[in-house]
Amino acid sequence: MKTVRLTMAQALVKHLAALRMEVEHLDGHTSIEPYCGGVFTIFGHGNVAGLGEALVAERERLTTYRAHNEQTMAHAAIAFSKAQFRQRIMAVSTSIGPGATNMVTAAAVAHVNRLPVLLLPGDVFATRRPDPVLQQIESFGQGDVSASDCFRPVTRYFDRLTRPEHILTALPRAIQMMTDPANCGPACLSLPQDVQAMAFDCPEDFLNPGVLRFRRPPADERELAHAVALLRSAKRPLIVAGGGVLYSQAWAALRAFVETHGVPVVESHGGKSSLPWDHPLNLGAIGVDGVSWANDMAREADVVFAVGTRLQDFTTGSHALFPQAKLLSLNVQPYDAGKWSGTALVADARVGLGQLETGLAGWAADTAWTARAQQQAAAANARITELTTNAPKDMLPYDAEVIGAVRDSATELGLDSGIRDVALCAAGTLPAELHKLWRASLPGNYHMEYGYSCMGYEVAGGLGVKMARPEQESIVLVGDGSYMMANSELATSLLLGQKMIVVILDNRGYGCIERLQIKTGSPGFNNMLDDCVPEGGERSSIDFAMHARSMGADAVHVKDVAELKAAMVKARQATRTQVIVIDTTHHRTTDGGCWWEVAVPEVSGRREVNEAHANYVKAQTQQRI
Ligand SMILES: Cc1ncc(C[n+]2csc(CCOP(=O)(O)OP(=O)(O)O)c2C)c(N)n1
Ligand SMILES: [Mg+2]
């Protein structure tokens, strides 16, 4: 066997640079692409000398990007992979200690959302010779614990490489996991700084890995037979499309299935854009953030066919939305397929939908059910136009109008927003409004991180989307609170020449949480900025446009929705990152969503809390248990 003398870091970087993936595109054609889209890194002690030396040597084959915060640069990497339906990744490298633990939240984001990212935190010396080094946490009771152990519960593969040749097993295992559709998630290879720099005899084969492919596991014959029997018994079936439809690129199979059998579709946050917004059988958003017409049909369905969804509480109304229905779950991951005593069909979504067809020949939903869904879907689109364009003028604009103006600004330029734009968000009032109201015509044009719903994902996520889909408009819609939590990758977007449009909705606080607080019986407290000024404090006055400008973006504060639309037209024509700020109200939202379980205190001196608790206990009786 031919070998070459390399440091562990050099072998790692050369392997990553050489990896190729067979990527499937939206139109179905495939091409061989670099698997790793680049490395985000902030250097410090623990990665600058070892990994840094290897990265600079390979910079022609594998690009290194500098960012401003470890958590958010990892968010950008995660968004990159989500926007490419998990087919490509980025790696993220940090120093030891705070650099590493800054990235733990991002690891959790990727873990919850089943998204691949290769995390490469630096670690303390394997030899322990200079201990304790700067930033070493020092456990009194466990000699082998370091800050990097925080990654264990939030990664799907964790390894600490204490010898250079460990890279030969650790890296292929991490990649195997990230390219396995069922187990896909974040991998963490923690790299002690001395080991990064140690040399070993690296087999040359390691530097020329084979082409990667996602596998598509078919269904088991017996599970398939049960699934067919269940669907054949259904008169009022409803498909819940989840993120798995997108990751499996099963949109054409889903469309064929629903059109053949007359089955209406509702979409989770993860699954939105599985069907075009104007498909006659697409009822739109289901659940807590759903629309009333979709939720009404969910309450009457006799079989809910969950395709590629984790069935989280926002989708199922904390399991109280469709307790009457029998559940069939098609999922590549048995953990998900087996949830809530449903009938499991473990398979790739696209393959599984295809396999069902033989057994379902001649079967269709009741014609009245299908017709009702079609009427609802048609009426829904008029309703959405109404909600997003015709708000009362006696108060500040609300999120729905902002969504309408952002969308319609494309029309002014003769563009189709549904095709052109990727709308991105993660937390606050906006996810519910976007879920209900955003119109996506192509898969992936709705990019919502609503697994971890991590404030601070937004601006960085917009950067990752632009890097993955340069031909599209990356539009970040973000609340003032989430923007304040993490915004520094705005500067990175300018540094890297990756244009995005950021629309900040400034309602002066944590609007959605205040509404939740009041709904659960408490007074508004500690959420809106004006309620949080102690004696001697100063009323908050953040100039978001000036803030964004200071980082290099073009930014304007618009006074109303008409100005917003005009600013959006200009922003679309610009080539560099644009920020538009608009004052909004948190007192107005669209309705339609179903109950969500939030625990209300059992005893309280407040009448409102007691009332909320009584309602809470009543709502719980509807839950599937
Ligand atoms: C990192 C993180 N911390 C806290 C929360 C809880 N949380 C969810 S939304 C929200 C407020 C968001 O405020 P803003 O972005 O201004 O949106 P608004 O609700 O005002 O529309 C908070 C505190 C969260 N989701 N993520
Ligand atoms: Mg706000």
CB within 8 A of 59, min separation 6: which ones?
Answer: none
Mutate to test the pocket of ligand 1, among 71, 435, 455, 487 (most ligand atoms within 8 A of CB): 455
Give residue 556's identity as a one-letter amino acid code. Answer: V
- Cα 587 from Cα 551, distance rounded (Å): 31
Question: What pLDDT is stored for residue 213 in this prediction?
Answer: 97
Say if ligand 1 is within 6 A of residue 64 CB. Answer: no
Of 117, 108, 101, nearest to 153 by C-alpha is 108
Say if ligand 1 is within 6 A of residue 527 CB. Answer: no
Say if ligand 1 is within 6 A of residue 544 CB. Answer: no
CA angle 115, 318, 477 (to 5 degrees): 50
Please state, in angstroms and as integers, the Cα–Cα distance from residue 364 to each residue in 43, 66, 223, 371, following that order: 59, 54, 20, 12
Say if ligand 1 is within 6 A of residue 454 CB. Answer: yes
Per-residue pLDDT for 390 more than 90?
A: no
Q: At 500, is the pLDDT very low, low, confident or very high (cuts 50, 70, 90)?
A: very high
- Cα 443 from Cα 389, distance rounded (Å): 25
DSSP category for residue 398? -
Mutate to test the pocket of ligand 1, among 513, 590, 598 (most ligand atoms within 8 A of CB): 513
Say if ligand 1 is within 6 A of residue 508 CB. Answer: no
What is the average pLDDT across 151-158?
98
Of 103, 100, 118, nearest to 73 by C-alpha is 103
Question: What pLDDT is stored for residue 625 in this prediction?
Answer: 79
CA dihedral (11, 12, 17, 19) positive or negative? positive
Q: Which numbered ligand comes closest to the C-alpha of 430?
A: 1
- What stretches of 357-488 adopt beta strand conformation (E)? 421-425, 446-448, 473-479
- Can you tell me whether residue 127 is helix, strand or coil? coil
Distance of CA 326 to the CA centre of its chain: 28
Q: At 609, is the pLDDT very low, low, confident or very high (cuts 50, 70, 90)?
A: very high
- Tens of pLDDT, residue by residue over 530-570, are 999 999 999 999 999 999 999 999 999 999 999 999 999 99
The phi-psi region of residue 120 (left if phi > 0; otherwise alpha if psi is between -120 and 50; otherwise beta) is: beta
- Per residue, the 3-state secondary structure of 112-137, as one string, reads HHCCCEEEEEEECCCCCCCCCCCCCC
Enter the tokens of residue 530: 């004006």
Give residue 359's identity as a one-letter amino acid code. Answer: G
Q: Kind of pairing, strands 30-34 and 20-24? A: antiparallel
Question: What pLDDT is stored for residue 392 in this prediction?
Answer: 76
Q: Kind of pairing, strands 421-425 and 446-448? A: parallel
Per-residue pLDDT for 606 more than 90?
A: yes
Q: Are 401 and 389 in contact (CB under 8 A)?
A: yes
Angle between helices 221-232 and 349-360 (to 10 degrees): 60
Mean pLDDT, the chain, as a whole number? 97
What is the average pLDDT across 151-163?
98
- Tens of pLDDT, residue by residue over 50-89, are 999 999 999 999 999 999 999 999 999 999 999 999 999 9
Question: What pLDDT is stored for residue 624 in this prediction?
Answer: 87
First to last CA, the chain: 58
What is the average pLDDT across 507-527?
98
CA angle 555, 556, 561 (to 5 degrees): 135
Say if ligand 1 is within 6 A of residue 513 CB. Answer: yes
Q: At 393, is the pLDDT very low, low, confident or very high (cuts 50, 70, 90)?
A: confident
- Ligand 2 is a single-atom ion; what residues have CB below 5 A from it? 479-481, 507, 511
Q: Which atom of ligand 1 is the closest one to the Cα of 514?
A: 19
Location of structure tokens 């927003």: 417
Predicted model pTM: 0.98
What is the average pLDDT across 590-618?
97
- Cα 322 from Cα 236, distance rounded (Å): 12
Q: Output the CA 107–ligand 2 centroid distance in Å.
A: 25
- Tens of pLDDT, residue by residue over 111-140, are 999 999 999 999 999 999 999 999 999 999
Location of structure tokens 């991105």: 424
Q: Are 344 and 257 in contact (CB under 8 A)?
A: no
Say if ligand 1 is within 6 A of residue 512 CB. Answer: yes
Enter the tokens of residue 525: 């407290």
Q: Which residues pair with 583 in a beta bridge?
A: 506
Say if ligand 1 is within 6 A of residue 451 CB. Answer: no
Per-residue pLDDT for 391 more than 80?
A: no
Q: Are 77 and 25 in contact (CB under 8 A)?
A: no
